[in-house]
Amino acid sequence: MAKKKILILSSGSGSIAEAIFGAVDSGELELEIVALISDKDSQSLVRAKSHDVDSHYLPLGPDRKQWNQSLLNLVADHEPDLVVSVGFMRILAPEFVRRFKVLNTHPALLPSFPGAHAVRDALAAGVSVTGTTVHWVDEGVDTGPIIKQVEVPVLPGDSQSELHERIKIQERILIVETLKKLLDTGEQ
C-alpha cells in the first residue's frame, strides 16, 4: 500500500513541523512529506531542507487573490492526501479548503480564543487553563470540527512566550498522535 502524502504549511520556527519530520524519520509515522510551503522566509524552510523535504517560499504580495491561486496551484502540483497547517498564519481561501483536506494546530482550546493571538487572548482573559487543538479547517477562522485537544495550565506570572512554549510542546506531541491515529484508522 502506498504511503499517504502530506504537505505542510508553516510560517514560523517550524518546531511543530520538526516533530512531524522526526516522527517520519524514526518510522513512528509512515507517510511521505511531499513539501513544506512557507509564506515567510522562515526557520521552517531551513528545517525542511535539513530533512530533504521539498520546500517553497511563497511570500504574500499585494494581490491576495493571485497569492491564493498560486498557493492552490503549488499544493495541487504535489497531490497531497492531506495538508497539515502548523503555525501557518494565513487564512486559507474557501476554494482551497473545499479542494483539500486540511488539518490545523491551534494554541488554545477552541472554540475559545480563535485567531492569531490565542495565547495573548487567553492570558488577557485570566483563564487558569488553556491548551492546544487539532481541528479540520473549514471556511471560517478556527471553526472547523475539533479532532483532539490537550489542556495546558496557565501558571501564575506566565508571560506570553513562556505559556506559548509550553503549549507548543503539547502541540508537537498532539500533531504526531493525531496523524498516527488518522493513518491507523484510515480516517480522512
DSSP secondary structure letter of residue 156? T
What is residue 185's predicted lDDT score, i.e. its pLDDT? 77
What is residue 1's predicted lDDT score, i.e. its pLDDT? 67
DSSP secondary structure letter of residue 2? P
Is there a contact between 51 and 35 (Cβ–Cβ < 8 Å)? no
What is residue 187's predicted lDDT score, i.e. its pLDDT? 61
Q: pTM for this structure?
A: 0.95
What is residue 184's predicted lDDT score, i.e. its pLDDT? 82
As given in the structure block, the three cell numbers for residue 46 are 531551513
Q: What is the three-class DSSP state of 116?
A: coil
Low-confidence ranges of the chain (pLDDT < 50): none
Q: What is the three-class DSSP state of 128?
A: coil
Give the integer Cα–Cα distance in Å for 173 and 144. Answer: 21
Residues marked as catalytic: 106
Report strand pairing: 55-57 vs 129-136: unpaired
Report all structural domains of the chain as residue ranges with CATH numbers, in order of start. 4-185 (3.40.50.170)
Q: What is the three-class DSSP state of 149?
A: strand
